[in-house]
Every structure is written in structure tokens, then in C-alpha cells.
Chains A and B, each alone.
Chain A
């Protein structure tokens, strides 16, 4: 059991491990794909926007740990969650334009394929979870210790 360092700012948060990098190079894309699948199947099978968002954020965290924070810190991740919130709100407001109540979802049929409008709402959730978690990771990762 190691104890936490007294002066933590001497060590960078990201490790320089080649093993982690090699694994991450394959694992990150797969995790992102899995998150999309989980998001897509959420309507009928276990999954959904929230879990998929957490999963893709985990992929993001893996990337941060393996390849460093430099690229990610210049991104405004919070914008991602704000856009997600806007999408969710718009999905809710859209039915109101045609006189229905707030959040009155319908199902669009495109051939044999069907798309419930709730999917857009779920996608908003996905983006919010991803954006918020990434904001926290990136901001915490940049801290310089106390």
C-alpha cells in the first residue's frame, strides 16, 4: 500500500507507460464504438444515453491518462454539455409547436426502420454526461496540487 506523495506537483498526473499507451491505442476506439452500440440499443436492450455517456467518458479518461492532457485542455468541453442540454430542450419543445404537450414523443417510421424522437433526447443526455465528465477530468488533471 503506497502512501500519497507529500508534494504531488513534482509528478505529472499522466504516466509515461508504454504498456498503457499500446493498450489505449486499441481500447479507446473500441470503447467509443461500444458506447455508440450501447446508446443505439438502449431503447430495447440494456443501455441508453446515460451509460453510453459514462462509457465514452471512460474512454476519454483512458486517452488522457495514456497520451497526456495537452490536446484536451484546449478544448472547451463544457460546450459539449451545453449543446447536449439545448438538444434535449429542443426535443421537448418541438412537439409544443404543433400544439402537443412538452416532451410528447412520437415515433418516426422510415421504411422498416423506426426512430423514436426520444432518441434525440437521449442523445442530449449522452452529450451532457460526456461533456460534464470530461470537463471535470480535464480541469482536475490540470490542478497543480495543494
Chain B
């Protein structure tokens, strides 16, 4: 895991270096050409930037997991790493795919592996629940997104992302289509569910039941950013749409504010981090909404680094104290000094204090908000947005201090007393991330990080301002930062009162989670009612449905074929007397089946019809079918007798008159339709129009060297059909074996 992750990280860097010399790495392998789908990968700078985050943090999480995951049985640990590495591969695929359908495939793999990782502790009820909710929401979004992609592909006749991004012709074609708005909305549903944007945000806090490295990796650093990444990719295609800004910016801003606000009253450390993650995801989404794409690389990297570190630190704390409840944790500083140090740096970065990367990102954000041309159109809106951002950041500031001061400072609580410092294996990964936090902060004295991060942005003309030293000629951002800090301190000081008010509000309003649960319950109820109605276990009911459907198909085929009953010579004139006699016997046997009062009698009568049918084929001189029919009849009689042997004594069904009438009607319809169908299929006119038998007979020896056309069809001309049939046969055999065996071993 670690080696693979490191290798892909190095490969990303190599590709980046290469790119500056020799253009963008681009590899296309044909896949499903009929549908215009290719295995296309493309290493543009935004994709590689994302791939670097995925593989880089993947390396660190791999190292961390080695010490974190307890000594379980090897199979389970193996599954964990298998899912983790599969996730990483899929995530790299999302980052580098240049084909919409390919992107969707990888996207779904991340949903599934995420489900497996969230449900790692599947013994626990909430573990299963969290995994299910996450899968339901993200898979729903994924399907919506696929429909959006297909619309784009159909309208533009290509699935290639890079073509769609660069060709203004394709973009105007798409924009002119009536399906433009549905495609946009469906694509956004996919992005919003994956990135946990309001109103789909609720799955993310529930997903925190995952092992902590998984939370750090999937639900902070990478997977939840896939939605943002997708929106970034789609910005050139959809960015000009009328609906773009209102939808994306509103959802983003609500998520941003709601996440920051709710983070403050959580008591579980991971839940706090999950809510702040929501907040940042919302922020980046919002920035895309106001066409401030320049900011994306800065904010994504900043968040990945500090939030990854914080999650890993929470994992260490949980490992040491066996709790994540901040009410039970105080004064960890004494027993865990190194962890404390790492946490201070990461949390200060979250709070946005210099000289951390977080401070720079926040300055850059405020700068972008003040300069944004979308917001400039309505100054009132601009000030409203800035006020919301300042307030949300103030809440996040207060949350950061709640973690630093609340968990690590003060007198050690009972749980903290027994805590012990973590080993190098656990500390290494957060230490690396923290070093990046400080490193980028310090390096931002120069223009280096600014140029680098602007190069990574999805926007080709990125101009995010990344500098540690504030620009004193343009003091807006700095003033907003200071306001944030002042407000944050205020919130922190009055935390008891603010918290009480928040809890009161929270309890008064139904959450999205409960609405979702109700929704899922309704679906289950409806589905159960439906299944109970149609799958009621009554063989009579199933037979009625199946045969009526078959009859409908038969009628339809006759109608479409245009071959009427008039063309069929319905006369017994040429029929031999023994044929007619056989038919008479057949009718008697069939009546006997229907009138039988015991199962054995019915079985024997059925067998009789089978053998009589075989004799009928003797009349028609088709030895193949005679042979087959007799053998099948024999073997199925053995079957029926074996099965009847275990059946309880038959009590004849007591049917209502309506039920009996229904039986008669269905039987008549099926009989008449099948008779017509057979009569037409054997009529001369039909044989003339579709002379399949003749052509097979002619080709059997020439093409396949066999005189028995039936067998040549089975093993040669239509061998693939036979292949499918025999596979079904094997599977049925295995199923019967498994079912009966397992039933016996149980009892």
C-alpha cells in the first residue's frame, strides 16, 4: 500500500516536471468504440495536483494505518488494505480520467470502496448504518451524474473532457440544447452528494464511524473533494450558464455556514472535524459558484493538509484514551506533549493564524471576495456574503481553540491521566502534514508557493494571492482577518451560552438525516407492499402472469408479422388416422392431468402426455426430437417422483368461483394463442418467408462438416447460445447442491 502510493506520488511529480517540457501527458486506448467510449487519461496540472494529494496523503495514511489498525485476523486487515488501495487507485482514476464515462466508473468505485471502509466495524449498528447512508446518498448522486454525462455525450457526440473543455464550438452546441439545464442539474447532484453539500450533507458526519485513517483520507482529504474537483472540471463547460452561480454558490454558502455553525456544538472530536470539513467543502463550492476558480488549489491543498493532520491526531488521542468525547478530555498536554505540539500547529492553521498556511489561505479568500466581479454586480450581496464568511470563519476559529484549549490544556481528566504518548509510527504522518502547513506558510514570504499553486488551479489564468506578509496598501483582507479573530475570540469566551442556544435550536428543527430516513422508510414500505402483492408465493398467480405475458407477446408477433390465420390450411384431410388418434389420446391425458385428485396421478398423466407427444413426432418423422423427448420425459418423471416423495399430501385448492373462472379464461387464452402461433409458424407461407431450416440444412455439411443439422446448430452455428445455456445449467446444479446441503447441515 505504502509503496504503491509513494510510487504514484513520485510518478505524479515526474509527470509534472515532464509536462513543462513536453506538453500534457495524454494516453488513449480504445474501449467501447461503438459507444464512443475510450480509456483516456490525461495529466493536466489540476488533475496531477489532485492525484498528488491522493497519492501523497495515501502514503501517509498507509504508514499511519500500520500502527493504527489493531491486531485483527489477517483476512480482515487484508480486506482493509485491499479496499484502501482500491480506493486510491479509483481516486487517481477520477483525477486523471479524460473520458466522462471512465470518470463515472472510477467515481462509483470510490463510492463502493468508501462503503466498505466506512463499514469496517460492521459489528456495530451505527457502523452499518453510516456505511449504508453514505452509499445510498453517493450512489444516488452518481447515477444522476451518469445521466448528466450521457446527455452531454449524446448532445456533443464526445465524452472527452479535454475536448469539451477547450472547444468553444462544443460548448455552444451544448448550451444551445434543451437538455442543457437537466444535464447541469444532474451533474451537480452527483457533485453535491459526493462533496456532501447541503442538502445532501448529512451522510458525512455519519460516515465518521469509519476507522480514523479512513476518515482522514476519504472524508477529509480526497473523496469528498471529488465533487469539488468535478465542478472544477466542469466550470469551463457550464460556468457560463445562467443557473450556475445561483445554484452552486447558494448550496456552497449554506454548507459553508451550516458546517461551521454546527461544528461548534458537537462534542465528538471527529464529528467536529466532519462539520468543519463540510464547511470548507462548501466554501470551495461557493468559490466555483462565483467564478473564483483561482482559489481552488490554495483552499483544497490547505484543507487537505491541516484537516488530514487533525484527523490523524484525533486518531492518536482516541488510541490513547479510548474516547473522542471532548467533555471527557482535558489536559492531555501533560502526557502527550508531542501530539499537543502537532495539534496546535494544525489547529492554528484551521483557525487561520499566521504564520500557518491556513492564515494565507484565509487572506487569499478575503482578497478574492473583495475583488470578485460576480459579487461586484450587487454590493449588498457582496457584503452579505462577506459577513457570512467572516462569521463562519469566526466559528471555525472558536472550534480550533475549543480543541486546543479544551482537549489539551487544563487539568488532566480521568481518561487523560492514563493516556500515553503515541509511537513514531502514528506520529510520523501528522508530523509530515504539519511540516507542510508551516513550510508553505514560511515559503510564502517569496512568490514560490503562489506561482506553484496558481499553476495547479483548474483555472488557466489563476491569480490567487498567496503571501505570508499582508499587503498593507490593500488592507481589506487583513482587516477582515482581524475581525474574524475578534469575533472568534468572542464566540469562544461565551461558548457555554452559544452552545446552549445552538442545542436548543438543533432540537427544534428536523434534521436532513431524519428526513432521509423517513424517505428511505417510505421506499422500503412501498417496495415491501409491492413485493407482497406480486411475489405472493402462489404458483397459480405466477403462472397466470407469465403465460398471459407470453400470450401477449405471441399476439403481438402475429400482428406485426402480418400473417393471419386465413393463410393456414386448417383441415384434417391429409392427416393420417393414427396421428388423429394420438391427438385424441393426448387430449384425454391432458384432461386427466386437470382432473387428477392426487399428485401421483397428475404426474403420471403428465408423463403420458409427454410420451404421446414423442409418438406424435414419430408420425412427423423427426427422430432427433423423439429421442430427446422420450429421454427428457423419463428423467423428468424420476425428478417429479423424487420431489413428490417429500411433498405433504395434496389438499385440492378450494378456489372461489371467480378464481376458477380466472383459471379457465387464462387457460383458454393461452391455448388459443399458442395454437394460432404454432399453426402460423408451420404454415407454408411462413416457411417461404423465413426459411431458416432450409438454410441451416444447406449449410450444415458445407460449413461444419456434419449431417445432423440440429446438432451442428447446437455446437457450431449457435455455439455461444449453447455456452450460455450450459453455464446456466452448471449454476443451477451448484445452487441446488448448495441449497440442499446447507439446509441439511443446519438441521
Contacts and interface: CB of A to CB of B under 8 A. Distances in A.
Q: Do A and B come from one complex?
A: yes
B224 to A, nearest CB: 43
A67 interface: no
Interface in B503-534: none
Interface in B696-733: 704-708, 710-712, 714-716, 719-720, 722-723, 726-727, 729-730, 732-733
Contacts of A135: 733-734, 736-737
B638 A137 contact: yes
A139 B646 CA distance: 13
B647 A4 contact: yes
Contact of A122 (B643, B644, B715): B715
A42 B719 contact: no
A46 B716 CA distance: 16
Interface stretch (B255-263, B454-462, B543-551, B621-629): B621-629
A85 B715 contact: no
- Minimum-distance CB pairs A-B, first 3: A132-B733, A44-B707, A48-B711
Nearest to A133: B635
Contacts of B635: 54, 57-58, 61, 133
A76 to B, nearest CB: 9
Nearest to B626: A46
Contacts of A116: 704-706, 716
A88 B705 contact: no
A4 B599 contact: yes
A68 interface: no
B737 to A, nearest CB: 5
Contacts of A42: 708, 711
B623 A4 contact: no
A118 B736 contact: no
Given A85-B726, A136-B736, A114 B705 contact: yes
Given A57-B635, A105-B704, A140-B642, A128 B627 contact: no
A132 B732 contact: yes
Contacts of A103: 716, 719-720, 723
B316 to A, nearest CB: 50
Given A51-B631, A81-B730, A135-B733, A3 B719 contact: no
A48 B715 contact: yes
B227 to A, nearest CB: 41
B600 A1 contact: yes
Interface string A87-130: 01100100000000011010100000010101001101100110
Contact of A132 (B638, B644, B708, B729): B729
Tell me what chain A mostly uses at the interface: helix, strand, loop, or mixed: helix
B293 to A, nearest CB: 49
Contacts of A133: 635
Interface of B: 598-601, 623-624, 627-628, 631-632, 634-635, 638-639, 642-650, 704-708, 710-712, 714-716, 719-720, 722-723, 726-727, 729-730, 732-734, 736-737, 740-741, 744
Contact of B649 (A6, A129, A136): A6
Given A4-B644, A48-B711, A146-B646, A55 B631 contact: yes
A141 B714 CA distance: 31
A58 B337 CA distance: 79
A125 B705 CA distance: 19
Contacts of A3: 598, 600, 649
A118 B723 CA distance: 12
Interface in A22-70: 38, 42-51, 54-55, 57-58, 61
A72 interface: no
B598 A78 contact: no
Contact of B645 (A4, A43, A84, A92): A4
Contacts of B623: 46
B651 to A, nearest CB: 11
A38 B708 CA distance: 12
B729 A139 contact: no
A63 to B, nearest CB: 12
A145 interface: yes
Given A8-B646, A45-B707, A125 B631 contact: no
B627 A47 contact: yes
A101 B714 CA distance: 17
Given A8-B645, A121-B719, 4 more contacts: A43-B711, A103-B716, A136-B639, A140-B639
A17 interface: no
A102 B730 contact: no
A131 B737 CA distance: 11
A20 interface: no
Contacts of A139: 736-737, 740-741
B726 A128 contact: yes
A29 B100 CA distance: 62
B730 to A, nearest CB: 5
A49 B311 CA distance: 63
Contact of B726 (A45, A105, A124, A144): A124
With most chain A CB atoms within 10 A of its CB, the pick from B710, B715, B722, B741 is B715
A131 B727 CA distance: 12
A50 B714 contact: yes
B649 A4 contact: yes
Nearest to B648: A146
Interface string A1-26: 11110101000010000000000000
Contact of A54 (B631, B715, B736, B740): B631
Nearest to A136: B736
Given A4-B598, A43-B706, A48-B708, A131 B733 contact: yes
B726 A125 contact: yes
A135 B735 CA distance: 10
A122 B730 CA distance: 15
Contacts of A77: 733, 737
Contacts of B632: 54
A92 B719 CA distance: 9
Given A45-B708, A47-B711, A50-B714, A85 B730 contact: yes
